[in-house]
Structure 1
Amino acid sequence: MRKIRSGAIDAATALVVALVFAILFHPARVRAAKRTGPAAATAPVASDPAFGTYWHDGKAELDGYRYTVTRYGRERRGHAVAVYVTEPFSRSMRVKVDDPSRNPKDTFDVLKLNLIRDFQTGIYDYNTMTSLFVRSEDFEPVKVSFVSTEWCGNVYEELLVNPGLVSQKLSSYFEGESVAREERRPKEGILEEELFLLLRGLNRPYLAPGDSRTVPFLPGSFRRRLTHQALQWTRARIERLAAPRTLAVPAGSFHVVVFSVRIENGAQGTFFVESSYPHRIVRWEWNPLVGSGRWGADSNDSGELSGSARLKYWELHDEGGERYLARLGLNAGSR
């Protein structure tokens, strides 16, 4: 009788152990465990419910602009393109990840903005691009890169943004300009490049109607390039005007929210943001403040929306793909 009871206990114990192992190592539980920790950042938690469905549809938002800038004291016309797209990003290398599954703990989701500004100055042209990368979960900036190419030479700048610190690397063709340095990042400080995302309110409204705030402000790479200013924090007052308005641009007529940005001893900016989602930048303009000799006339910079589309542009590189430029209000080869 004891042998039978002992055998029953052994069988019951084996059954319990088997059940525990089955629960602990069930494939669904293992997959869920792999998603915890740093890799969980690949799933954005932005508060606007439209963010996830709109920005993770496998396409990019492409916005074309008729562009005007002052260079060498004269007004120049060109075109600008803003490319917004989400992608996996490396926490350690600060570059796009080709295969997130290879190192999920080092991978997180970013929203990237590439802002291209091209314009002619007499016989030669300027080709510039600013790239901004922000974490999708909280819109914290992690990197800015900037390149300027014209007939005299090339300039490349990279800013790695960390809590309390900005690390700059500037490589320039021009003597005496290359530098590597670190600059303290003030609490609540924002980079000029962030305005194209913050003011859109893609995860939450930046300001309520009629509200304003004054923040530490780092002038953007493009502005510092044209005005030959060093990396240095200043302050800016950002205000959301109480009353929306209607604005006509080449892309059509839009109901917009208006933001004013006043850089201390610098420039005055105005951003006209589409009222309805996805809150595209319909127009922006910068002008130097009266008496701001530090910045000069080359602070003038503006763009008007000429067209917009959501496309997998990286698949449109074959002959004939240029026809999609018409949807952005642009022509192949035109200035």
Structure 2
Amino acid sequence: MNGYRLVQPRYGAPRTGSAVYIFVTEDFSDSVRVKADPGRHPASDVYPVMKLNAVRHFQTGIYDYKVMTSTFARVASGWPLAKVSFSSQEWCGHVYHQLLPRGGKEDGVFHSYFDGEADGQDNLPQPEGGIYEDALPIFVRGWGTTYLQPGESRKGPFLPSLLRARLDHKKLAWGQATISRSAGTSTVKVPAGSFDVSVWTVAEDGGRTFTYEIEAAAPFRLVRWSTDAGEEASLLGSTRLAYWKLNGPGGEQHLAEIGLKPASALRTER
């Protein structure tokens, strides 16, 4: 579990907020594309995934945004994508969007409160070697992967994130991007401390450039990321916790371990 200080551009201004990135392994059912309960599915239908729950919370004037992306990558060479789902909640309404790679194509569905969007589908190809922006925080952490050695770069198909599709109100479409890894390491200082990092850069053709600074030694934490559009996040704190067991009174004290505080209680007048 990692807490971040977030700067999220929205409506022409930088918005301060927080992000929580939770990495957890779990068993996944291929037939229904959800977490597999023990003994409920045949062994042939179940495989392990790395799940990233990426939660962002930021204020835009009187109202706030709460957005979450869940990315499921198969624990196998290259981290093949199994599913991405996204939801956004703010005072104007809410949105849901998901992608399921199946049989060499991407089956997507979305539901939106915006006129002209409402309910729709994505029918996209699944190109060989395609990289998903939503999976980058898993991919660049490099557990056991040799996608890029230090100093190398590679160009390939690239799909923007579901969050970006929502904020920009654009249909998803594959483009091209060049992914590069720094030849050496450097030292960066963030609220969580000083870290030696390897720098990964993703440059879209005719689009944005992303920078991910990854801890050079295990556990290879995502220390900082930024884009040339003004988005930035810096690590506040990191811990390993069975967070799903900490939903009782007092569990909120563990938020301090990732640099966050509990949400303030509403004040009421008597």
Alignment TM-score, normalising by the size of structure 2: 0.94
The answer to whether residue 101 in structure 2 is matched with residue 161 in structure 1 is yes
Structure 2 gaps, min length 5: 265-270
Encode CA deviations 1:146-179: one digit per residue, 9 max, x unaligned: 0000000010001001352111101111112131
One of 246, 260, 264 as aligned partner of 1:316: 246
Tell me the CA shift for residue 268 of structure 1: 1.0
The question of 1:189 aligning with 2:119 is answered no
The residue type equivalent to 2:232 in the other structure is S
One-letter amino acid matched to 2:32: M
Distance 2:104 2:132 in 1: 13
Residue 193 of structure 2 aligns with which residue?
252
Match of 2:81 among 130, 138, 141: 141
State the one-letter code of the partner of 1:287.
Answer: D
Bigger share in helix: 1
Mapped to 2, the partners of 1:146 and 1:188 lie a distance apart of 23
* CA distance in 2: counterparts of 1:100 and 1:192, whole angstroms: 33
Does the residue aligned with 1:95 lie in a helix, a strand or coil? coil
Given the alignment, which residue of 260, 263, 266 partners 1:333? 263
Give the secondary-structure state (helix, strand or coil) at the position aligned to 2:32.
coil
Moved over 6 A (4+): none
**Kept in 2: contact 1:199–1:205 (CA 8 A):** no
Q: For 2:52, which of 97, 113, 123 is the aligned residue?
A: 113
Match of 2:167 among 213, 223, 226: 226
Question: How much does 1:233 deviate?
Answer: 0.5
Matches within 5 A, 1:70-85: 70-85=9-24
1:14 is aligned to none
CA RMSD between the two structures: 1.2
**Aligned mates of 1:165, 1:183 — CA distance in 2:** 6
| Structure (1/2) with the larger strand percentage | 2
Distance 1:205-1:277 versus aligned 2 partners, 3 A rule: farther
Q: State the 1:101 CA deviation.
A: 5.6
Instruction: Report the residue type matching 2:255 in the other structure.
Output: L
Cα deviations across residues 314-335 of structure 1 (Å, max 9, x unaligned)? 010011100000000001116x
How many residue pairs get aligned? The number is 262
Specify the alignment match of 1:150 in structure 2.
90
Q: CA deviation at 1:182?
A: 1.2
Q: Secondary structure at the match of 1:84?
A: strand
Query: Aligned to 1:90, which of 29, 37, 54?
Result: 29
- Between the aligned partners of 2:172 and 2:40, the Cα distance in structure 1 is 37
Counterpart position of 1:208: 149
> Does the aligned pair in 2 maintain the 1:90–1:96 contact within 8 Å?
yes
Q: Larger Rg: 1 or 2?
A: 1
Could you state the TM-score of these two structures normalised by the residue count of structure 1? 0.76
Please list every run of 5 or more consecutive structure 1 residues that lacks an aligned counterpart in the other structure: 1-61, 289-299
